[in-house]
Amino acid sequence: MKIFGRSIIRLISPNIKVMAIPVAVLLVVAILFIYLTKVGYSRVTKQISEYKLAQKTENILSGKLGLLKKVESEIADDTDSTILALPDKNPATWSISQLRLKSIENGLTMDSINVANSNSFEENINSIAIGVQITGQELAQILSFLSSLPTFAPISTTGEIQMEKGQDGGWAANTEVSIYWSKLPPTLPAIDETLNDLSNEEKTVLNKVSSLTKPTFTVLEPSGPKERLTPFN
């Protein structure tokens, strides 16, 4: 390009010509540096956070696997104990059976037993009250019976107790035993969710639950076909 017959380059001062290239290079480098820092830093930071998240998940999974391997052999018995202590359905029949057994063990007579309507004790836990009236010759027998109530499964709590001495010198006692049940957890947590081992407090409760007297169940064995001498009998 020419102005007044002379090239533009010739019009530029030699001082500027000498400075132009290094200044241009510096400018380009500065722009590239800003761009690189902005883009590169954000990408690397994002990648680091992804890596940290992956590490965290891996640690959770690793811990979970270790825990599951550790408890694999011992958890089966605990499941039975806990489900018997707090069943998923109304355990009134089990509890009544246990109450009857304990009254017989202590030489008491169960005069009456009544079951009230169930109600919600807390969120997801239901309860029902069983009214019990027992009679016996000695106060000690009744005390032994009442003391045995927290020792059997399903777990129960004893409400107010009234004991009266009769005319014949025997004793009668009235009380209300509350029993509980709760639905089983419907779903498993997400696979990458932390799973902790039982805490010391939980282990204490578990030990207590394991030592409870479990209800006895009668298993009816299937019998084979028999020869019927009289087909109409």
Partner 1 sequence: MARINLLPQELKPKGYVLKLSKTLNKLALISIAILLAAAFVFLGSFIFFSQQTKASLGRQESLKSEIRALEATEQKLILVKDRIQKIGKVLNVENTTEELGVLKQIVEILPEGVSFNSVGISDSSVELEVTAPNLLSIGQFFLSIVNSQGFQKVTVTGFSYKLETGYVVGLIFF
9's CB contacts (< 8 A; 6+ apart) are 17
CB of 50 to partner 1, least distance (A): 5
Distance of CA 158 to the CA centre of its chain: 26
Of 48 and 104, which CB lies nearer to partner 1 in the complex structure?
48
CB of 159 to partner 1, least distance (A): 7
Amino acid at 214: K
How many whole angstroms separate alpha carbon 2 and alpha carbon 146?
Answer: 117
Encode 153-189: b = buried (16+ Cβ within 10 Å), e = exposed.
Answer: bbbbeeeeeeeeeeeeebbbbbbebbbbbbeeeeeee
Of 83 and 101, which CB lies nearer to partner 1 in the complex structure?
83
CB of 121 to partner 1, least distance (A): 7
Of 37 and 213, which CB lies nearer to partner 1 in the complex structure?
37
Please check whether residue 96 is in contact with residue 215, taking contact to mean a CB–CB distance below 8 angstroms.
no
Cβ neighbours of 81 (radius 10 Å): 18
How many whole angstroms separate alpha carbon 124 and alpha carbon 133?
Answer: 30
Of 108 and 223, which CB lies nearer to partner 1 in the complex structure?
108
211's CB contacts (< 8 A; 6+ apart) are 151
CB of 189 to partner 1, least distance (A): 7
Of 50 and 111, which CB lies nearer to partner 1 in the complex structure?
50
CB of 67 to partner 1, least distance (A): 8
